[in-house]
Structure 1
């Protein structure tokens, strides 16, 4: 069967929503929790099929954040089962080692129990060198949570960029270089803060002219009022300063603060391409907050 299937096009990435375990257990009159154990065993077989066919990426939706709303005994049982199965994956004879599979856990670590968290960290570390196949296990996961997390990370990055820019101060030596550049009619604009510092220096050195700097640029009205107090060289340099500042402002306005690529690189699933096929094992036609992005 595998030989026949491998002749046709093989998908790069298949995602599974592991669903219907409780209904299966109820239908078969099994004890509580046995349905999930059976589901994990079937998953092992599915992974072997996928890796034999040459599917490089497999993602499984093992545990939703919404599942924490179930009764505490069931949640605890599932956490213990998850810990056990993760540890089994690391055994020498497991398919993880057989196929050189790297494990990625797509999750909010803070929601997991300490034993599961430790197992996740160990499995991620031990398989980090594997590069033939990739298994992504979504635990303590929902797609909306993933998107919110990505946006939050984007905001942190952009805030750091803004704070870094604000820390750049024009020192006396920097002002000296600006002044020398002006005298050579070759002004080098360091930043908008540089413009403000230069104008403040002009004001301090010449009480005849009062200039103010707007937050996003420079106020030209004051200059127009006292235009006669500037030499021709000063006016040329100042006008160039205004034009360069305004040009920078317009460029900043044109570029979105957070772009699509910024969000995508901060998604948990950024480590894999988009799935080619999504399979829900119970047959239900619902996404259940899985890989919505």
Structure 2
């Protein structure tokens, strides 16, 4: 088993060397779809698919860190997800609370790999324990700088855009200026996602091709990649394929210019 692990690690390092010849994306975003279907197909209990999805996220974070990707964003919980069955929502909220609290430890994977965690979304919609765990995790990882992980929780892109416009209007009115024109920069600097550059790649699992109200403002120039694998099934090879597609996309853009 140890020998097999060493062989796999060697192959991964070889692939990293090959991929590193081309441009490496600075920001990869994930739409983590298919956790429920993964559990249902295997007759697993409620929440087991999301538990498996958590380990898939850890795997992707490690691979992105090793590849040199600076920013990673994950669509963890949509505002629309509150409409799901109470049992499922509570299970997912409890899982997130547990994992966020465990990440605060010095020996956690996020600290081992220098991952700084930030949250985007309307956190006021969350339960107090989950909101407190998110704030604690943000503070606990503020000194990390190798990878910047943004978890979109209680998030939708339309909510983000409306909030940014409202904030821009409120601040313009408060300034009591003669010109109250709202421009593009006013809105963009009040977005939840202002802390990261626009994503180079957006990867969605489970075979869906929709953005599902995720980073609509920021995805105009993104390379969109869909895979039939459900989120708990995502692997290193799916990531490599996405990066190779991005590099091909970049090459085609340069030829057009």
TM-score, structure 2 as length reference: 0.76
Please tell me whether residue 34 in structure 1 is matched to residue 48 in structure 2: yes
Q: What's the CA shift for 1:23?
A: 0.6
1:190 — aligned with what?
A: none
Which structure 1 segments of 5+ residues have no match? 166-248
2:93 matched residue in structure 1? 79
Shift of 1:3: 3.1
Task: Report SS of the residue matched to 1:136.
Answer: strand
1:66 equivalent in alignment to 2:80? yes
Partner of 1:8: 22
Q: CA deviation at 1:154?
A: 0.3
Partner secondary structure for residue 137 of structure 1: strand
CA distance in 1, matches of 2:106, 2:19: 29
Please report the RMSD computed on the Cα atoms of aligned residues, expressed in angstroms. Answer: 1.4
1:19 aligns with 2:33: yes
The residue that corresponds to 1:192 in the other structure is none
Contact 2:27 2:72 in 1 (8 A): yes
Q: Find out whether 1:263 has 2:203 as its counterpart.
A: no
Give the CA deviation at 1:109: 1.4
Counterpart residue number, 1:155: 169
Q: What's the offset of the Cα at 1:99?
A: 2.3
Show the 5 A alignment for 1:37-48: 37-48=51-62
CA positional deviation for 1:84: 1.0
For structure 2, the residue ranges without an aligned partner over 5 or more in a row are 1-11, 218-257
SS in 1 for 2:20: helix
The TM-score with structure 1 as length reference comes to 0.67
Q: Distance in 1 between matches of 2:118 and 2:165?
A: 21
> Contact 2:104 / 2:136 at 8 angstroms: preserved in 1?
no
- 2:196 matches 1:272: yes
SS at match of 2:45: coil
Helix, strand or coil: the match of 2:90? Answer: helix
- Displacement, 1:289? 0.3
Partners of 1:95 and 1:8 in 2: how far apart?
A: 28
SS for the counterpart of 1:7 is coil
- Between stretches 4-13 and 63-72, larger displacement belongs to 4-13
CA distance in 2: counterparts of 1:27 and 1:77, whole angstroms: 19
Partner of 1:284: 208
